[in-house]
Amino acid sequence: MIPKRAKKKKSKYFAIKTEYDGIMFDSKLEAARYKVLKERQDKHEISDLEVQIDFPCAITVDGKEKHICKYIADFKYKDYHGDWVIEDTKGVITQVFSLKKKLVEALYPGVKINIVKDPRI
């Protein structure tokens, strides 16, 4: 009997995983945005660039913490004013993403998630 090869699972929205700078990104768009942000950091336009930042979403019910979901932002960095910026690259904005975005912004006061559709911006 010949073993079957595991099929590569295709992305629902045809995103292609892409490696850049030793980091694996979920899409070419995300990798392209990282490249732009990295160049901006090298020019000292931004600082403290981070990738794949976890935002656990939980609420307290009857004194117990109830886990709802986890949102992973693509990028976090400080702009030229020193303010933190949270970004997510999206080719398709799904209902699940929209709901998680609202939830994170409600649970983390002061956090605003910016959606990037064009990596050059």
**Rounded average pLDDT over 88-110:** 95
**By three-state DSSP, how is residue 109 classified?**
coil
DSSP state of 69: E
Residue 6 lies in a domain: no
Question: Is 58's pLDDT higher than 80?
Answer: yes
Average pLDDT, the chain: 90
pLDDT at 14: 77
Residues 6+ away with beta carbon under 8 Å from 35? 20, 21, 119
What tokens were used for 84?
């933190």
- Mean pLDDT lowest for which of 12-21, 30-39, 54-63? 12-21
Percent of the chain with pLDDT over 70: 89
Spatial contact of 57 and 66, defined as CB atoms under 8 Å apart: no
In one-letter notation, the amino acid at residue 31 is A
In one-letter notation, the amino acid at residue 23 is I
In which order are the strands placed within the sheet that holds 47-61?
47-61, 64-78, 84-89, 113-116
Residue 59 lies in a domain: yes
Residue 25 lies in a domain: yes
**Domain count for the chain:** 1
Residue 64 lies in a domain: yes
Question: Is 105's pLDDT higher than 80?
Answer: yes
Cα 11 vs. chain centroid, distance in angstroms? 16
> 108 φ, ψ to 5°?
-120, 85
- Mean pLDDT lowest for which of 14-18, 35-39, 97-101, 108-112? 14-18
pLDDT at 35: 96
**Rounded average pLDDT over 85-95:** 94
Residue 27 lies in a domain: yes
**How much is the pTM?**
0.82
CA atoms within a 13 Å half-sphere pointing along the CA-CB vector of 114: 13
In terms of residue numbers, what domain contains 42?
A: 18-116
